[in-house]
Amino acid sequence: MVFPYWEAKVKPFRVIGNLYFVGSYEGSSHMLDTGDGLILIDTGYPQTLYRLIENIRALGFDPYDIRHIVHSHGHYDHCGGTRALAELTGAKTYLGAPDRDYANGTLDLTWAKELGFCQYIEPFEPDVLLHDGDRLTVGNTTIDFVATPGHTPGTMSMFFDVTEDDITYRAGTFGGAGTNSLTRAFLEEYGLPLSYREDFLHSIEKVYDEPVEVFIGNHFWNNHAEEKIRRLGEKPNPFIVPGEWQSFLDGVRREAEELFRKDP
C-alpha cells in the first residue's frame, strides 16, 4: 500500500554542527552545509521531493546551493528524487559503482514494486561511481566512503566529522541495514546469489569498530530520531550517543542471522 506522501512529513531540524535532517519519515535525507555549497545524502521518493525542497528552504537554505548528492544505495526510497533535483540544481551525483544499473534503469532492482509502486521512475546516470575508500572533500567537510555490500551490492556507508561547542565528533551512517532484500524469495526472483547474505554480515564486521559518536540512520527510525528531537536544545546534544553505533549493528546482525536461520 502506497503511503500518503503528505502524512510522511517531518519538521526539518539541525542534528548537530553543520548536519541537518531535511527528509520525510518514509525517506530520510540529510544535508551538510560545507561553507562551499550543500551536500545532500539521499533524496527519498520522487513523490516526496517537494517536501525535501520545502524543508531545505524552511531551514534558511537555498536548494540551488546543493552541489553534491551522495547516495547510500540505489533503492527507490533513497534515490528516487535525484534525477529531478540534479536537473534543477546542477548538482553532481554519486553512487556505489555496483548499483549504477539500479539507478539508470537497466536493472529492475530498485524495490519500487515492493514498495508499492508499479515501476521505477526518474532513472539517472550517476556522475561519480564510488568505490571502497573514496573520499569527498567540500569546504569544511570530508566524507569517507566505505563499501558495505549486502543490502545492495553497491551500498556505501559514510563517515564524517561534525563540530559543536568547539568539540569534534565522528558521525556515521550504515548504508543499508534492511534484510528485506536478502530473503530467499527475493534473491531467487531476481536471480541474485545467496552470497549477498555473507556480504551483509561481513559488512557489519567491517565497520563495527568505526569510532562513531553520532549515529545517523538512513531511515528515520534507525537512530530513534523521533525521541531525540524532543530533547533538542539539551546538553549534551541527544544525538551524541557513544556506543549506539555498535548497539545498532548488533541488532542488525541478530535480525539477519535469525532470518538466515529461518529462511535458509
Over the stretch 130-185, which tens digit does the pLDDT of each residue have?
Answer: 999 999 999 999 999 999 999 999 999 999 999 999 999 999 999 999 999 999 99
**Residue 241 is assigned to a structural domain of this protein:** yes
> Looking at the domain assignment, is residue 1 inside a domain?
no
Average pLDDT score over residue span 28-53: 97
Mean pLDDT on 32-37 = 98
Cα–Cα distance measured from residue 104 to residue 124, given in angstroms and rounded to the nearest whole number:
5
Residue 4 in any domain: the answer is no
Burial annotation 143-160 (CB, 10 A radius, 16+ → b, else e): bbbbbbbbbbbbbbbbbb
Number of domains in the chain: 1
What pLDDT is attached to residue 1? 46
User: Is residue 220 included in any domain, yes or no?
Assistant: yes
Q: Is the pLDDT of residue 6 over 60?
A: yes
Tell me what pLDDT residue 7 has.
78
- Domain CATH number, residue 97: 3.60.15.10
pLDDT at residue 119 is higher than 50: yes
Q: What is the value of pTM for the model shown?
A: 0.97
Give the separation between CA 63 and CA 205, rounded to whole angstroms. 36
Q: What is the mean pLDDT of residues 9-29?
A: 96
Average pLDDT, the chain: 96
Candidates 163, 167, 31; CA nearest to 89 is 31
For residue 55 the three cell numbers come to: 524543508
- Is residue 21 in some structural domain? yes
Please report whether residue 39 resides in a domain. yes
Only one residue has cell 569517507, namely 144
The answer to whether residue 3 sits within a structural domain is no
Note down the domain range covering 190.
9-230+237-262
Distance CA 56, CA 81 (A): 14
Q: Which three cell numbers stand for residue 239?
A: 544525538
Indicate whether 109 belongs to any domain.
yes
